Amino acid sequence: MGEKRGSFTGKLGFVLAAAGSAVGLGNIYRFPYLAAKYGGGIFLLVYIILAVTFGFALMVGEIAIGRKTGLSAIGAFRSLNKKYAFIGYLAALIPMIILPYYSAIGGWVMKYTSVFALGQVGEAAQDGFFGGFISSAAEPVVWFMLYIILTALIVLFGVEKGVEKVSKFLMPVLVILSLFIAVYSIFLPGAMEGVKYYLLPDFSKFSATTVLAAMGQLFYSMSLAMGIMITYGSYMKKDVSIESATTQIEIFDTGIAFLAGMMIIPGVFVFSGGTPEALGKGPSLMFAVLPKVFDSMIGGRFIGLAFFVMVFLAALTSSISLMETVVSIICDKLHVGRKICCLYVFIGCVILGLISCFGYSIWSEFKIIGMQMLDFFDFVSNSVMMPVVAFLTCVFIGYVIKPQSLIDEVESSGTFKRKKLFTVMIKYVAPICIVLILISSLLDVFGIFKI
């Protein structure tokens, strides 16, 4: 504990590092499929409202806890109040559940990168291509193993700084490329229906499940409610404004997610007629739609390749940061060497990741509460554990350490314009809403009570 922490140089360094870890598959692949599934415009609207209220308050709270204590999640909660260290433990469990299935999806991205590199765009644009791929027993496993081995090697040899530098440099390229693809998609014949679906909220599609899905996505995409932002905060310099850094991370993260939706959702209308079935595809949406978009484009093979390479890098920086987090938690707890820790984490990840892969192939008959394994891991972490951790964090800040203690931390480096919003959200609105939404939507999932 006594050792000195390195810190980010200035605000830009902090924002880039936090946004670099936050932008990943959550934005590019998860956001569009949820938006398509949960009513388009209404999902987008709910998401944005949550981002500027809940998301803002929670991110400020987590960064401030980290900077105030100079510790990562478990230590931070413990140092503020011994009895509440359990929140840190609970938060620390979440990256452990996410990493394996995140890597399985990372493997899919690698597969698509290779498909585009080999010029097989026409094949990838066929209807059954993705389904055929994930339901085969061996291929997804091979790609998953390649992806997780690569992640583990980078973490093991400590070269993540190099990878992060490359990807920071490539981030603007990803934005420009996404803009280009989004504009192209909008002008495809029949795309306007999709644009309307995505931008105009249809209030009849509003439900508690929509709010829970948007909330889980917000936490996932911004890496909230799992201790990550506490760790980032612990490396933040004392003179950087927490409030404006938070605003910038949120704008960046939401901007990329919005663009990804713009690329994918109009495509669903163009190529599959926007049927509820096509919109509700879930995790496979991006992989089913984008190859069709690229196939229809002159030079789509190269644009597609460039796009998947970028997505691969964005995913890789996120999984490196996830693995790094898990390894450091385990190192701290078990007091064993870093190499051994990497090995443990790698083995655990391979086991859980294989379960995720097989859930789509040889074990596809086996379902938990109607979900395949990967969807189940995703549901448990995003829709159950993160809301619970977010609720506990709000209660902890609101009633144990009191919002004022964090407001002081924020104000030590500048003004805190939205401190009223922060206090009201943390003390009342967020915890009450989280509990109500969590309960009603769990009842819904288990089919006990339909709202």
- Tell me if residue 371 falls in helix, strand or coil: strand
Distance between start and end Cα atoms, the chain: 49
Given phi > 0 = left and psi -120 to 50 = alpha, else beta, which region is 299? Answer: left
Cβ of residue 446: shortest distance to ligand TRP, in angstroms?
26
Cβ of residue 257: shortest distance to ligand TRP, in angstroms?
8
Stretch that binds ligand TRP, among 24-32, 236-244, 259-267, 371-379 (CB under 6 A): 24-32
Cβ of residue 159: shortest distance to ligand TRP, in angstroms?
17
Are 274 and 194 in contact by the 8 Å Cβ rule? The answer is yes
Q: Is 382 in the site for ligand TRP (CB under 6 A)?
A: no
Please give the backbone phi and psi of residue 224, each rounded to the nearest 5 degrees, phi first: -100, 170
The Cβ of residue 147 has, within 10 Å, a number of other Cβ atoms equal to 25
Candidate residues 47, 220, 269, 271; the one interacting with ligand TRP per rule CB under 6 A: 220
Stretch that binds ligand TRP, among 196-204, 266-274, 315-323, 438-446 (CB under 6 A): 315-323
Size of the site for ligand TRP (CB under 6 A): 16
The Cβ of residue 376 has, within 10 Å, a number of other Cβ atoms equal to 18
The residue among 228, 224, 231 whose CA lies nearest residue 66 is 231
CA angle, 218 then 449 then 98, to 5°: 30
Candidate residues 150, 174, 228, 373; the one interacting with ligand TRP per rule CB under 6 A: 228
Cβ of residue 20: shortest distance to ligand TRP, in angstroms?
9
Are 359 and 372 in contact by the 8 Å Cβ rule? The answer is yes
Cβ of residue 227: shortest distance to ligand TRP, in angstroms?
9
Number of H helices, E strands in the chain: 24, 0
Site for ligand TRP in 36-95 (CB under 6 A): 95
In the bound state with ligand TRP, the residue whose beta carbon lies nearer, of 24 and 300, is 24
Candidate residues 318, 382, 383, 413; the one interacting with ligand TRP per rule CB under 6 A: 318
Binding track, positions 142-181, relative to ligand TRP; x by CB under 6 A: ----------------------------------------
390 vs 441: CA distance, rounded Å: 16
Candidate residues 17, 21, 313, 385; the one interacting with ligand TRP per rule CB under 6 A: 21
Q: Is 249 in the site for ligand TRP (CB under 6 A)?
A: no
Distances (CA, A) of 299 to 2, 176, 303: 56, 16, 7
Site for ligand TRP in 94-123 (CB under 6 A): 95, 98
Candidate residues 297, 322, 354, 426; the one interacting with ligand TRP per rule CB under 6 A: 322
The residue among 434, 414, 438 whose CA lies nearest residue 425 is 434
Give contact residues for ligand TRP (rule: CB under 6 A). Answer: 21-22, 24-27, 95, 98, 220-221, 223, 226, 228, 318, 321-322
